[in-house]
Chain A
Amino acid sequence: MRHELRGLAMLAPLALAACGPAGPSAEQRAAAVDAFATVKEVFQHPRCQNCHIPGDAPLQFDAGVAHAQAVVRGPDGHGAPGLPCGTCHGESNPPASYGPHAPPGAPHWALPPPSMRMVTQGLSAPALCAMIKDTKENNGRDFAALIKHVSEDKLVLWGWNPGGERKPVPVPHAQFVEKFKVWADAGAVSVGVTDARRSGEMTNFPSERPATAEDRAVPGHRKGDPIPGLAGSAVGWNARRENRETLRVFEPRAGTTRKASLVPA
C-alpha cells in the first residue's frame, strides 16, 4: 500500500508536466489559455451547444430545453427518416414578417452525426480542449480545417445572426476566430486542470464538493474519495459524472497543496 502511494506520488507531477507541451513560451501559453476561455464561451453558448450534445434529443432556446416535437439526431445527424431538420429549418432565417417564433434556418441545419458527436455540452476546459484537438472526435479536422470551419461554415455563422429574439453569440465573430488562432498558433496548448482551477471553473476535490446531491449536477463537479496514506498524505481518483473523465489527485500531506492531473478514462 505504501509502495503504491509512493509510486503515485512520483507519477502525479510527471503527469502534470505532460499537460503542457515544451513549445510555447510561458507568456504565449498564458495568452493561449486565456484565448481558450473565449473559445469555450462560444462553443458552449446555447446557439452552438444546443446541438453539440451527448444524447440524441437536441435542445432549443437560450435555456437549452428539450426541442419540441421530440425530434431526434437520426442516423446521419439530419433528423429522423421522414422528419429531417430541413422540414422546418430552411436555408435561411424566415423573413421578419413571420414573427419571432418561426423556426430559424441556415444551410445544412443538423446535429453532428451519431458516429462523431463532437459534444461540447458541459465539458470542462481541459476536456473541451482535448475534444477539439482530437481528430478522432472532431471529424478528422486538422487546425487549418478547424479554423476554416469556425470562420466560414454557414451554420456556425448563424450563431451570430440567429434571427427572432434568440440571443446571438455575444463574442464578436472576428474576435472569436482571432482567439481561436491565438490558441492554435501556440500549438493549441492543452488547457490543464490547474488552469481551469485557477479560473474557478472546476471543483476537483472532495472537500469542495457541493453539499447536496442536487447541487452536484453543476458542470465540473467531480466525485471521489481519497485513500489515506503515509503521514497524512492521500491519493484519490475523481471521476466526472457526465463523461467519466478521470482525475488523479495527490495530497502529499494533510493541508498541503494538492496536485491533480487528468488521466484518460
Chain B
Amino acid sequence: MVSLTINGKTQDFDVPDDMPLLWVIRDVAHLTGTKFGCGLAQCGACTVHLDGAPLRACVTPVGAAAGKAITTIEGLSPDGTHPVQRAWAELDVVQCGYCQSGQIMSAVALIKAKPEPTDADIDAALSGNICRCGTYPRIRAAVHRAATLAKETTR
C-alpha cells in the first residue's frame, strides 16, 4: 500500500513499491494525460512534478514518491488556464499531441526556475523532451509567450 498525493488529493494505492510511478498514475489512478513513450527516461513524455521539480515518472519507483506532492498535467490548473497552457493554445503548438504533456511540464519547471528564459535556456531545459512531430520551433516560441503571460498574471 502506498499513499500518494496527486494534484492535491491524497489516496492509498494497493500497488507494489517498485511499480513505476507512471503505471500508477495512468493505470491505477486513471490520469492518462501523462504519456508513456519509452520507459527509459529517453523521451520526456512521462514528465510530472515531484514537490515542484520535474521527474520522469517511468523510471521512478512509486515508493520514492510516497509522501511527496505529485503534479500531473491535469493538476496544472482546473480549467486549462495555466500561463503555459494558454501560450500553448494561443500558438497552436500541438501537432499529434503525444509529447506535449511532457513538454508543458518541462516548460513549467523551466519558467519556475528561470522566469525569463533565453532560447539557450529553453533548449537546455527541454532537450530531454522529444517531439516526433518536430514542433520544436513552436514550443520555443510558446515558452517565451508563456513567460510573458506568467509575468502578467502575477502582476
Contact = CB atoms under 8 A, between A and B. Distances in A.
B100 interface: no
A70 B113 contact: no
B64 A83 contact: no
A124 B130 CA distance: 39
Nearest to B56: A88
Interface string A66-94: 00111110100000111110111011101
Contacts of B110: 81-83
Interface string A247-263: 00000000000000000
B61 A83 contact: no
B61 A94 contact: yes
B128 A83 contact: yes
B127 A69 contact: yes
Interface stretch (B29-37, B40-48, B132-140): B40-48
B1 interface: no
A68 B54 contact: no
Interface in B28-81: 40-42, 47, 53-56, 59-61, 64
Nearest to B18: A95
A103 interface: yes
Contacts of B94: none
Chain A's interface: helix, strand, loop or mixed, by majority?
loop
A103 B61 CA distance: 12
Contact of B64 (A90, A98, A99): A90
B47 to A, nearest CB: 7
B22 to A, nearest CB: 11
Contacts of A92: 64
Given A81-B114, A82-B109, A88 B59 contact: yes
Contacts of A97: 18
Contacts of A91: 64
A149 B22 CA distance: 35
B61 A87 contact: no
B149 interface: no
Contact of A82 (B56, B64, B125): B125
B150 interface: no
B146 interface: no
Contacts of A72: 124
A102 B41 contact: yes
Contacts of A81: 110, 113-114, 117, 121, 124-125
A148 interface: no
**Most interface-central of A68, A94, A103 (chain B CB within 10 A):** A94
Contacts of B61: 90, 94-95
A81 B113 CA distance: 6
B142 interface: no
A244 interface: no
Contacts of A90: 59-61, 64
**Most interface-central of A81, A83, A95 (chain B CB within 10 A):** A83
Given A87-B53, A88-B59, 6 more contacts: A69-B128, A81-B125, A82-B125, A87-B128, A88-B41, A94-B59
24 contacts: A69-B42, A70-B123, A70-B127, A71-B124, A71-B127, A80-B127, A81-B113, A81-B114, A81-B125, A82-B107, A82-B111, A82-B121, A83-B54, A83-B124, A83-B128, A86-B55, A87-B53, A87-B55, A87-B56, A90-B61, A94-B59, A98-B59, A102-B59, A103-B40
